[in-house]
Structure 1
Amino acid sequence: MVFSWRKRKPRNGDKKVHNMELEIPRHFICPIALDLMKDPVTLSSGITYDRESIEKWLEDGNFTCPVTNQVLRSFDQIPNHSLRKMIQDWCVENRSHGIERIPTPRIPVSSAEVSEILFSITDSRRRLDRCGCLDSVHKIKKWGLESERNRRCVVANGAAGVIAAAFDAFAGDSFEKNAHAHLLEEMLCVMYWMFPLAQEAQIYLGSQASLRCMVWFLKSKDISVKQNSITVLKELLCCDQQYGEHLAAIDGVNRILFKFIKNPISPSITKASLMVIFHTVSSSNEKTKAEFVEMGLVSLLLESIIESEKSYCERALGVIDKLLETKQGREFATDNALSMPVLVKKILRISELATEYSVSAIWKLSKYEERVLMEALQVGAFQKLLLLIQVGCSDETKEKATELLKLLNPYRPGLECIDSLDFKDIKRSF
């Protein structure tokens, strides 16, 4: 096994670049990765591997030593400090050849350590000990920043449920006085990498106290706080839409979400806000949908998706489709000259999901007013729907497309006018 590098500036002043090879001692090489070990650990079989490689081996469901093939008596990984020191010394000795010293690895967190900290958080929650809870949350945050392996260990030991329970408790305790604001911000920051949320965490984060707290954070001047809060809300509603109705009941939240779409702060906040709105209007009553319509959300989304990328279009079309279930939504869309051209244009142009939302929206509008059918014909809806049925779609979308074709057919003579370029070299994008 050799290690290759390029020596750019020889000491003798020669300006030529020399390609050289340096042999790595065999016992410095991981038997799995066949590369220099950065964090050597020894298994119960007595064989040493690089920690990252052997952990992946074990996580894939293997119970044997890769070299000896014997069943492991335990999965303990003992750090081989002597070998690691030898590897570091070898790197230093060959520094002139371009070898960089391998930093001393951090010892990964153990399940016992995580359990101890989680017990401390639970105890602090019961006593409403803000300082004690904050210290524990900072410890978990530090572990998470150190490695992906630490984050997996923290999540596997049920941290999301414990932290969510503490979040609910402190959010409901005099939150109006901002007494626990910093602690609650740190909890949201930590939960940001604990998705998907466990059932226990969903219950605590879906409480009225927790939801009101996260809505309060959406008004923060700190963009990172806004982002953590809207992301947790999005994940919560993606897990269970019933929380959308609870969220919509909080005064002012719809206006805040609308502002995030109208005045974008960051792409991630905008997309997360669209998903929250989608789940909110999917689960809430007509009043909530009407409120978004009155704000002008239908027109705003129609304008924004003209040249938007895939994920934004899908989310926006989904929201439009839900808002068109209301009479107010259909009225606003019918009065907007962009409605039919944009919806027809998105069929077969973005994704299967975007196509389904577009057809559904056109179907709802076409059943509402006759002149919508004429507009649809003039922008090529008949040909697009025929093509859609030919290339294939879901049964529900096919049923709506077929019904639309029947509605459009009587108005075809003398009205149909399409741009043939719209169908030039069309390919199914999904």
Structure 2
Amino acid sequence: MVLGWRRRKNKNKNPRNLDLEIVIPAHFKCPISLDLMKDPVTLSTGITYDRDAIERWFQDGNFTCPVTNQILTTFDLVPNHALRVLIQEWCVENRRFGIDRIPTPRVPVSPIEIADALLHMKASATRLDRYGVMESVQRIEKWRCESERNKRCIVENGAASVFSFAFHAFASSIEENASVLEEILCALNWMFPIQFESQRILGSSNSLRCIVWFLKHQDLSGKQNAIVALREILCSCDEQVLEAMAEIEGNTKELLVELINKRISPTITKASLMIVHYMVSSSYPSCEKVKLEFIELGLISSLLEILVDTEKSLCEKALGVFDSLCSCVEGREKAYSNALTIPILVKKILRVSTLATNYSVSAIWKLCRYGHKDDNDEEEEDEEEALVEALQVGAFQKLLVVLQVGCDDETKEKVNELLKLLNPYRAGLECIDSDFKNLKRSF
């Protein structure tokens, strides 16, 4: 295979030379990518590769030299400066053919340098030295901006744990340490996802309170960093962290509902829905109380408004929260009172994704199987109204198709029970919905 650059078109040159190609010297090409090397490095076997290519080789779990197939005893990459200079000189000599000079690569940061910076940062955070921490953060940020390789190296050497510790250390005095806390939180955002240990450190009461404060007082960028961090902390669904979040004083839940309603940005809206989902779908002690608070804040109506017309990812998250809220009596009561509930849930079946279908079926099942009143007669009346409305908007046919195209065991069980509940009401009420007429089966 011959690689090269086609000569740029030049009206003043002989047309017979327009297709001339400049062939790259073989020793300038990486044995892995077969492209011109930008940062040649040599292994202990004496073979030279482009840094990005050989690092990807190692990341894929290989322990040998690609050319010699020899097992490596060391993974040190020695920069081949002499070859790099020759490549640069060759580029300059052929620049009239449109070849750009390969820039001199920056020396990548070493694990030892990262460890030293993190050690300095942790020591500074322990004695609450804001300037020392800021110096370390800026140093690490500079390395991160230089290359993707540096970023990976920083994350792999435990930066998230030290940054989480520093954030926790300064979180007890928020306003006094706002600037350093903001820098730490901004840096943490490019380290996500983080390990469980770091999640627990950031999940302390002081840290959570600080992040919520950022949600209230920061600009758009600051709010986005804070909400993404909060989502990352709660995604482990650790009971202690969720309980600490539930006990934060102030209008935290009102703030989350406000962020969902305002839809300031897709990132903030999605992260807010995920946070609410973690808070209402777990089994920690305050979960039921938290559900009631979100329901009283009108979250059911807000979710239905989002579901009217929204993209796939947001729809899945909104349906997940809605399904969780329908697990309690008060949630079903609010759902029954909204005329959009059943039509929207039925409409989302088979229209968004498998996950959205599962959530929709689950919510309909809860509404049709359980009432919301203490009186049995009124309870049966609510169930009957939900069943009749579901039939009128084409639920029976859609549920049959769900069984035909396939679903998980839990959803299948709910679909079968719903079909049994709906069947007695079919005569004279059933609507043939064409929403799925073009749906392709999985067999």
- Tell me the TM-score normalized by structure 2: 0.92
Describe the shift of the 1:406–1:115 C-alpha distance in structure 2 as closer, same or farther (beyond 3 A): same
Of the three residues 179, 182, 185, the one matched with 1:185 is: 182
Of the three residues 194, 198, 204, the one matched with 1:197 is: 194
Indicate the larger mover: 139-148 or 17-26.
17-26
Give distance in 2, aligned partners of 1:73 and 1:415. Answer: 75
Please give the per-residue CA displacement for 1:271-314, whole angstroms capped at 9, x wherever unaligned: 11111111011234222212222222111211212221111111
Give distance in 2, aligned partners of 1:206 and 1:428. Answer: 45
Describe the shift of the 1:154–1:249 C-alpha distance in structure 2 as closer, same or farther (beyond 3 A): same
Give distance in 2, aligned partners of 1:43 and 1:84. Answer: 15
> Where does residue 376 of structure 1 map in the other structure?
390
> Where does residue 41 of structure 1 map in the other structure?
41
Residues paired across the two proteins, number: 425
Q: Within the alignment, does 1:80 sit opposite 2:80 as a pair?
A: yes
> Where does residue 231 of structure 2 map in the other structure?
234
> Where does residue 91 of structure 1 map in the other structure?
91
> Where does residue 292 of structure 2 map in the other structure?
290
Give distance in 2, aligned partners of 1:300 and 1:418. Answer: 29
> Where does residue 322 of structure 2 map in the other structure?
320
What amino acid maps onto 2:210 in structure 1?
C
Q: How does 1:9-408 map to 2 (within 5 A)?
A: 9-12=10-13, 18-172=18-172, 174-175=173-174, 178-242=175-239, 243-250=241-248, 251-283=250-282, 284-367=286-369, 368=371, 369=382, 370-408=384-422
What amino acid maps onto 1:354 in structure 2?
A
What amino acid maps onto 1:202 in structure 2?
Q
Q: CA deviation at 1:17?
A: 10
Q: CA deviation at 1:365?
A: 0.9
What amino acid maps onto 2:350 in structure 1?
L
Q: CA deviation at 1:86?
A: 1.4
Q: CA deviation at 1:11?
A: 4.2
Q: CA deviation at 1:84?
A: 0.9
Indicate the larger mover: 234-243 or 19-28.
234-243
Describe the shift of the 1:43–1:319 C-alpha distance in structure 2 as closer, same or farther (beyond 3 A): same
Give distance in 2, aligned partners of 1:388 and 1:297. Answer: 28
Give distance in 2, aligned partners of 1:62 and 1:286. Answer: 50
Asked if the contact 1:211–1:247 (Cα under 8 Å) also holds between the matched residues in 2, the reply is: yes
Give distance in 2, aligned partners of 1:325 and 1:381. Answer: 20
Asked if the contact 2:122–2:166 (Cα under 8 Å) also holds between the matched residues in 1, the reply is: yes
Describe the shift of the 1:145–1:404 C-alpha distance in structure 2 as closer, same or farther (beyond 3 A): same
What amino acid maps onto 1:45 in structure 2?
T
Please give the per-residue CA displacement for 1:296-355, whole angstroms capped at 9, x wherever unaligned: 211121121222111111100000001112222111111111111110111122111111
Asked if the contact 1:8–1:17 (Cα under 8 Å) also holds between the matched residues in 2, the reply is: no
Give distance in 2, aligned partners of 1:213 and 1:325. Answer: 31
Give distance in 2, aligned partners of 1:10 and 1:24. Answer: 25
Instruction: Name the SS of the counterpart of 1:349 in structure 2.
Output: coil
Describe the shift of the 1:16–1:345 C-alpha distance in structure 2 as closer, same or farther (beyond 3 A): farther
Give distance in 1, aligned partners of 2:187 and 2:347. Answer: 42
Instruction: Name the SS of the counterpart of 1:101 in structure 2.
Output: coil
What amino acid maps onto 1:427 in structure 2?
K
Give distance in 1, aligned partners of 2:417 and 2:139. Answer: 59
Give distance in 2, aligned partners of 1:222 and 1:15. Answer: 59
Describe the shift of the 1:392–1:35 C-alpha distance in structure 2 as closer, same or farther (beyond 3 A): same
Q: CA deviation at 1:20?
A: 2.8
Instruction: Name the SS of the counterpart of 1:7 in structure 2.
Output: coil
Indicate the larger mover: 34-43 or 296-305.
296-305
Describe the shift of the 1:15–1:249 C-alpha distance in structure 2 as closer, same or farther (beyond 3 A): farther
What amino acid maps onto 1:303 in structure 2?
E
Asked if the contact 1:7–1:17 (Cα under 8 Å) also holds between the matched residues in 2, the reply is: no
> Where does residue 440 of structure 2 map in the other structure?
427
What amino acid maps onto 2:170 in structure 1?
F
Give distance in 2, aligned partners of 1:428 and 1:311. Answer: 23
Q: CA deviation at 1:19?
A: 3.1
Q: CA deviation at 1:428?
A: 5.7
Asked if the contact 1:144–1:150 (Cα under 8 Å) also holds between the matched residues in 2, the reply is: yes
Describe the shift of the 1:170–1:151 C-alpha distance in structure 2 as closer, same or farther (beyond 3 A): same
Indicate the larger mover: 294-303 or 351-360.
294-303
Instruction: Name the SS of the counterpart of 1:374 in structure 2.
Output: helix
Please give the per-residue CA displacement for 1:18-42, whole angstroms capped at 9, x wherever unaligned: 3331011221111111110000001
Please give the per-residue CA displacement for 1:26-64, whole angstroms capped at 9, x wherever unaligned: 211111111100000011111111001111112222222
Describe the shift of the 1:17–1:305 C-alpha distance in structure 2 as closer, same or farther (beyond 3 A): farther
Asked if the contact 1:298–1:320 (Cα under 8 Å) also holds between the matched residues in 2, the reply is: yes
Describe the shift of the 1:350–1:28 C-alpha distance in structure 2 as closer, same or farther (beyond 3 A): same
Asked if the contact 2:200–2:233 (Cα under 8 Å) also holds between the matched residues in 1, the reply is: no
Q: CA deviation at 1:426?
A: 1.5
Give distance in 2, aligned partners of 1:17 and 1:85. Answer: 29
Give distance in 2, aligned partners of 1:83 and 1:306. Answer: 61
Q: CA deviation at 1:412?
A: 1.2
Asked if the contact 2:160–2:198 (Cα under 8 Å) also holds between the matched residues in 1, the reply is: yes
Instruction: Name the SS of the counterpart of 2:6 in structure 1.
Output: strand
What amino acid maps onto 1:40 in structure 2?
P
Give distance in 2, aligned partners of 1:261 and 1:409. Answer: 38
Give identity over the alignment, percent.
Answer: 59
Q: What do you get for the CA RMSD once the two structures are aligned?
A: 1.9
What amino acid maps onto 1:380 in structure 2?
G
Please give the per-residue CA displacement for 1:248-293, whole angstroms capped at 9, x wherever unaligned: 3222111111111111111111111111111011234222212222
- Tell me the TM-score normalized by structure 1: 0.94
What amino acid maps onto 2:188 in structure 1?
M
